[in-house]
Structure 1
Amino acid sequence: MSAPVIAIDAMGGDFGPRSIVQASIACLLATPSLHLTLVGQASLLEELIARHSGVDRSRLLVVNATEIITMDDRPSLALRGKPDSSMRVALRLLADGKAQACVSAGNTGALMALSRFVLKTLPGIDRPAMVAAIPTQRGYCQLLDLGANVDCSAENLYQFAVMGSVAAEALGVARPKVALLNVGTEDIKGNQQVKLAASLLQAAPGLNYVGFVEGDGLYRGEADVVVCDGFVGNILLKSSEGLATMIGERIETLFRRNVLSRAVGALAMPLLKRLKADLAPARHNGASFLGLQGIVVKSHGSAGAQGFQSAIQRALIEIQENLPERLHGRLEELL
């Protein structure tokens, strides 16, 4: 396999190019075979790179783009009004074969619209879906969709399940258990779309469908892949991130309350730091757009350098596993 190249939309996210350049250089140091192409305002990016010593510029290129898609821009404006945006240029590098993946922390709606327009979807896929890893008691669960598709048909949910199963296999899960997120585990529970999707999945050959799972069952690790529409998935994801942050802060506050609690906290702090690191949203940052003819990873807009580095690492894994080709082959079997 040739050296992997990832195109980076360097102008997106809450922290902007400074954080993205820092994350990119850290990834290059961690992975000697990796090549990155930063897309954005070239003069600014070159200035930020120059602040870091020992950067291997043979593996770090800069491509100029004169426009930026803001978080407030409508997808229609991104498609028609900003042809030289950093996001679009990065995706074009992927479409033209000059990169094997694209990572962006920019406007999610714009990234999805541009990805579908520039890259197109795989045969048999109506809509791409966003998927990310969620920590559970048994490891991780691949949850999709996370917000790309607010309203979904039963057929959409079926396609998401197939794609999620292949993604989990690529990440090392043998015969992943696939479930539909629902308000109960009984067959009579759920809306019409979920019930119809269950019927389709029960008849799918080679798919390890295990039925419905509730929210608490997701965190118990009852399934390796959990499928829902983007409205539910986005709320669940952000609620999980908020809960993890709140619990960590509450524990720290308790251990600072008095002398005795500080003493106990000093003993427990190594374990608590490890737990906090395991559950930190930054460590699991990076949602993949499954169903495209190319690898696109969306970093959380509020992610700092560590979080953006995780998104780049997810893209690298998908390149190494040749995920689009694996998806294409599996979809031919199941759709």
Structure 2
Amino acid sequence: MGLQRATIAVDAMGGDYAPDEIVVGAIRAAAELDVNLLLVGDRERIQACIDEHGGADTERLEIVSAEGVVTMEEKATSIRRKPKASINVAMSLVKEQKAQAVVSAGHSGAAMSAALLRLGRLKGIDRPAIGAVFPTMIPGKSVIVLDVGANMDCRPKYLEQFALMGTIYSQYILDVDEPKVGLLNIGEEPGKGNELAVQTHKLLQDNSAIPFVGNAEGKDVLSGNFDVIVCDGFVGNVLLKFAEAIGEVMLNIMKEELPKGWRGKVGTALLKPNLRNIKQRIDCAEHGGALLFGVSGVCIISHGSSHAPSIFNAIRMAKEAVEHEVIEKIEAYNQQHREEIKETASAN
């Protein structure tokens, strides 16, 4: 696309296995992806990790000092008391245009609060949303679900905005020419669900900018029949955690069902490539993390228990979002939609 190399700020102190796993994932990304990485956090600890796990191309790695971290036990509001914490410094790098994206496996609430405080919301977006990419039963096809945790209580217009942002992501990142948008509900009929679902269904149906195809039941989420599914953050987070558990359960069951003894060892050896492929399809770590939609910058929130492969994929995800100018396209899309609404109102 003729763009200069993306620079991504990585919160090296965020996550259960920071900084080691974060740095290892970043070292791999520096070697395999065309990106510059700013590792934010305790300089001595990060440098020690680079020295231990180096051997790759580390010229694209730069350490940016930060003081402290917002732990998982703290409230998200702790970011105000810790202005020099790694997540705050990482967000400031984007605000100061020294980086185009942030990747963090730390406190998700703190990451969202820091993004809102330092980057601000996109014009026309009332609430940010966390969008997670799920695998589907169709090989090579994914579905993005949002919100999966940013907003426990939603209004219909929030879900409408989520649908608009998800449509953009599906088109430009997941390469879906004509995304099919669904509303997560307890039935396919338009009148099903609570008041939020009924009102949201009408908004989505009446919005010509959203390729809405109808309600999606729980069984439809991974069917491949939808490209974008919207819901409130309470339901979405339950869905996300359930999906993560299902993947692990399936792998464990398959391993337990293999024969014991020498036959089991032979069978495991023969099935190893297949088991690896299955893991890649159902493991959320393969997608790296979730994009925080609705803020003025690319922010990828990874799972707190992320290991190096997940961090690598989160950086890849951030790189794609930057290079495809997802934030700029969402802004333009929203502006066009608002102008169309004004024109329609004036005509009437």
TM-score range, shorter chain: over 0.9
Question: 1:68 maps to which residue?
Answer: 69
Query: Aligned with 2:213: secondary structure?
Result: strand
Specify the alignment match of 1:132 in structure 2. Answer: 132
Letter in 1 for 2:45: L
- Name the amino acid aligned to 1:123: K
Q: Verify: 1:270 aligned to 2:273, yes or no.
A: yes
Q: List alignment gaps of at least 5 residues for structure 1.
A: none
Residues 104 and 53 of structure 1: is their aligned pair in 2 closer, same or farther, counting only changes over 3 Å? closer
Letter of the 1:117 counterpart: L
Q: How far apart in 2 are the matches of 1:330 and 1:114?
A: 25
**Alpha-carbon deviation of 1:273?**
2.7
Pair 136,64 (structure 1): closer, same or farther in 2 beyond 3 Å = same
How far residue 82 of structure 1 moved from its aligned partner, in angstroms, is 0.4
Alignment of 1:276-291 (within 5 A): 276-291=279-294
Measure how far apart 1:302 and its partner are. 0.7
Q: Match for residue 7 of structure 1? A: 9
Q: What is the rounded CA distance, in whole Å, between the counterparts of 1:17 and 1:256 in structure 2?
A: 39
Q: Normalization by structure 2: what TM-score?
A: 0.92
Measure the CA separation in 1 of the matches of 2:266 and 2:85.
54
Matched, 1:197 2:193: no
The whole-number CA distance in structure 1 between the counterparts of 2:263 and 2:67 is: 58
Q: Are positions 1:210 and 2:213 aligned together?
A: yes
What's the counterpart of residue 52 of structure 1? 53
Where 1:16 maps in the other structure, the secondary structure is coil
Counterpart-to-counterpart distance in 2, 1:321 and 1:13 = 27
For residues 180-219 of structure 1, what are the alpha-carbon distances to aligned partners after superposition, in whole Å with 9 as ceiling and x for unaligned?
0001111221111111111111111232100100111111
Identical aligned residues as a percent: 37
Q: 1:221 offset after TM fit, Å? A: 1.2
Indicate how the Cα distance of structure 1 residues 275 and 327 shifts in structure 2: closer, same or farther if over 3 A, else same: same
Output the TM-score relative to the length of structure 1. Answer: 0.96
Secondary structure of the equivalent of 1:109? helix
| Structure 2 match to 1:222 | 225
Deviation at 1:53, TM superposition (A): 3.6
Confirm or deny: 8 A CA contact 2:152 2:232 kept in the other structure.
Answer: yes
Q: 1:20 aligns with which of 13, 19, 22?
A: 22
Q: What are the Cα deviations for residues 13-49 of structure 1, in whole angstroms up to 9, with x where unaligned?
A: 0101011110000001102x31000010111111111
- Matched residue type, 1:291: G
Runs of 5+ unmatched residues, structure 2: 339-348
1:156 aligns with: 158
1:301 maps to amino acid:
G
Contact 1:187 1:195 in 2 (8 A): yes
CA distance in 2, matches of 1:54, 1:291: 38
Equivalent runs, 1:1-335 vs 2, <5 Å: 1-31=3-33, 33-78=34-79, 80-138=80-138, 139-171=141-173, 172-257=175-260, 265-335=268-338
Q: State the Cα distance separating 1:291 from its structure 2 match.
A: 0.9
CA distance in 1, matches of 2:212, 2:41: 43
| Deviates most, 271-280 or 95-104 | 271-280
Aligned length: 333
Equivalent pair of 1:254/1:261 in contact (CA under 8 Å):
no
What is the distance in 1 between the residues matched to 2:44 and 2:273? 43
Structure 1 residues 51 and 258, CA gap change in structure 2 (3 angstroms)? closer
Seen in structure 2, the aligned counterparts of structure 1 residues 263 and 86 have a Cα distance that, compared at 3 Å, is closer
- The amino acid across from 2:38 in the alignment is T
Contact conserved, 2:130 with 2:149, CA < 8 A, in 1? yes
Q: Return the alpha-carbon distance in structure 1 between the equivalents of residues 115 and 9 of structure 2.
A: 13
Distance 1:180 1:258 in 2: 48
The amino acid of 2:123's aligned partner reads: P
1:272–1:43 distance in 2 versus 1, CA, 3 Å: closer
Conservation of the 8 A alpha-carbon contact between 2:288 and 2:315: no
Query: Using the alignment, how far apart are the partners of 1:327 and 1:23 within structure 2?
Result: 29
- Whether the aligned pair in 1 keeps the contact of 2:12 and 2:18 (CA below 8 Å) is yes
- Give secondary structure in 1 for the equivalent of 2:53: coil
Q: Deviations over 1:257-283 (max 9, x none)?
A: 466666555544432332122212210
Distance 1:199 1:71 in 2: 39
